[in-house]
A and B are shown apart, each in its own frame.
Chain A
């Protein structure tokens, strides 16, 4: 897909909560083996945080890098599967708290882990069609996983926000092309009113994660004529450490191109937030005129693929807000009990 007019990223910002729990600590609680754990540690939000507050901070950072008055932004889309209210938009809460213009579009996207990049597509389309000048897309989640379930070892937390405008000298990267690819594939779901998701074990791999990402990325290659060697970096959805590296290997991306945006080993899988966060981290290390592949995956299932090319403004704008790496460095380990309390697993 290509918009009518060229669209770029004007500002971006990530956020990772301060607390961490090591996978080893979780394993010890459940008497599980400590070898072959899916990630090293994962981010745990404080009990006063939720998707609204995490989105707010990521958006603040994005606004700082965009260097525009927030009231120029006329659309805010939040991709998440853990919004604070089942019915009551987080988007409108962000409009008021960030001081956006009330004459704005505000909505949530839900598509498991790819809701964040769904929000990208819509925000890009509004700017690309000329309907408005500035739009914001956020991916944010406090991932849920049932205590003791495999998901508990990976379900992290994080958010990232992107402000789109038409391509200009001010944009840090521009969009070359994008693809969306979906099919009804029941690998992971959460029924209405349930607290924790269900998943189909090994079925989440080949027919779900790998099939959809490979399909979207190959379509992008076909439609653009680009090949893996044209890209300096690739950000894949990362439910664990292994999958993104494996899908990269299949598609022809060596680990060094993936690692700058591979955050799940230290943040966990922040569901809809993890690919946008990975893209933020990648932008923070990229130089101008480099190409970045982004391919999300959302259960149920689908993948959005994007090709972005960085621009000169990136260098100057990087340091206008805290880096994802600053948030990752800022950490304090908590015990399983504190983690359970903060995540509301112990009612209080």
Chain B
């Protein structure tokens, strides 16, 4: 089940730079961007780039992956609380399954998520790995 090209294209910036939206009325930030604030229903929202450092809140290991993720399985999926308190979901990379710990310090890097076969598009997005420095 490949994504359509326009559908992938529309989201490139959001996924590769972690673009969310900030509510100008209540100040809350959400990922991905929205048209209406889920907290105060304001429609005055602006795009913001989210920080790429955070801590691991919870994680799972995907053993039975969805189609086109087979190549990377088993892989770690986690909820990361970013420095500004916003939660995002992401894969973890450059880490052994046994080394994953709740609360560990992570940083976002750009990685491949999947390939539409040998000939199709490559999908990229932010993954998180243990901080280097």
Contacts and interface: CB of A to CB of B under 8 A. Distances in A.
Interface of A: 18, 46-50, 52-53, 56-57, 84-85, 93, 96-97, 99, 322, 326-327, 330, 332, 348
Contacts of A348: 70-71
Interface in B45-86: 49, 70-72
Contacts of B16: 96-97
A49 B132 contact: no
Interface residues of B, number: 21
A99 B17 contact: yes
Nearest to B127: A48
A85 B118 CA distance: 11
Question: Interface majority SS on A: helix, strand, loop or mixed?
Answer: loop
A85 B94 CA distance: 24
Interface in B81-129: 93-94, 96, 109-113, 122, 124, 127
B49 to A, nearest CB: 7
Given A96-B12, A96-B13, 9 more contacts: A48-B93, A53-B111, A84-B122, A93-B124, A97-B124, A322-B133, A326-B133, A330-B132, A348-B70
B110 A99 contact: no
A46 B132 contact: no
A207 to B, nearest CB: 37
A85 B101 CA distance: 36
Contacts of A57: 109-110
A103 to B, nearest CB: 16
A327 B16 CA distance: 22
Contacts of B17: 96-97, 99
A47 B112 CA distance: 8
A29 B113 CA distance: 31
B13 A18 contact: no
Given A84-B122, A326-B132, A97 B110 contact: yes
Contact of A49 (B12, B71, B112): B112
